[in-house]
Amino acid sequence: MNYKRILLKLSGESLMGSKQFGIDNQRLANYAAEIRDIHEMGIEIAVVIGGGNIFRGVQAEEGGMDRTHGDYMGMLATMINSMALQSALETVGLQTRLLSAIEMKAIAEPFIRRRAVRHLEKGRIVIFGAGTGNPFFTTDSAASLRAIEINADVILKGTRVDGIYTADPLKDRSASKFEHITFDEVYKLNLNVMDLTAFTLCKENNLPIIVFDMDTPGNLKDLLNGKKVGTLVHN
């Protein structure tokens, strides 16, 4: 594995750490340190982070709110997380650029593909906020789309589980882990890796996904050093 440019997908829930909601500053600092370590390896890094620790459009719909309205609120939640991550990364000495799919001149640049690529080439950490800018699309879909647009070599999906299993390992102790699996096998076994829109985008554009445990210190660096970490999904 020799990845020059990666897209790191982080869940909003992971930012909660031990809290019930919101942002755990220690977890944020840990993530910033992990990203700094791989930046020092010369890897170009883009990040997409979810907003589930603050707000989810789907939850709003369940409460009777219009789904479109809820999804836009969810996009704003991703911007809060993106700004928090940006601050944490700059605290450890990294140059960053926050690009938003929804225009927010005071806090972020608008997403322009060529500009994003140029920032990466200059060694800046690029954070993509506000999802795709459209309702009914998840941040997984945003991660897949942006990764394809910037010609990333791989999507690294950081979760709280160390890979893809035959069943939920937290509920089923007999679940076994896949070292690697094809896109077609994931479809066949109906495994929950990403939402289908995001997953299909990756399959059709031959973009591999690695699902790994982001909360174990050193995992991200080990993965990019070629060690067997997580589960690789490929064509």
Q: Which two tokens stand for residue 15?
A: 């930012």
First to last CA, the chain: 15
Give the confidence band of 64 by pLDDT, cuts at 50, 70, 90.
Answer: confident
Task: Give pLDDT, residue 167.
Answer: 86
Give CA–CA dist 131/136, Å, rounded. Answer: 10
Beta-bridge partner residues of 8: 47, 156
Strands, E, within the chain: which ranges?
5-10, 44-49, 96-100, 109-110, 125-129, 154-159, 164-165, 177-178, 180-182, 209-213, 231-234
Locate tokens 């605290």: which residue?
Answer: 91
How many CB atoms lie under 10 A from the CB of residue 86? 21
pTM, two decimal places: 0.95
Superfamily of domain 5-234: Acetylglutamate kinase-like (3.40.1160.10)
- Find the radius of gyration of the CA atoms of the chain: 17
Question: What pLDDT sits at residue 1?
Answer: 64
pLDDT at 4: 97
pLDDT at 168: 82
pLDDT band at 21 (very low <50, low <70, confident <90, very high): confident
Percent of the chain clearing pLDDT 90 (strictly above): 86
Is a pLDDT exceeding 80 seen at residue 58? Answer: no
Q: Is residue 19 over pLDDT 90?
A: no
> Residue 43 CA to chain centroid, in angstroms?
16
Collapsing DSSP states into helix, strand and coil, what is residue 138?
coil
What pLDDT is attached to residue 171?
Answer: 85
Q: If pLDDT is split at 50, 70 and 90, which confidence band does 85 have?
A: very high
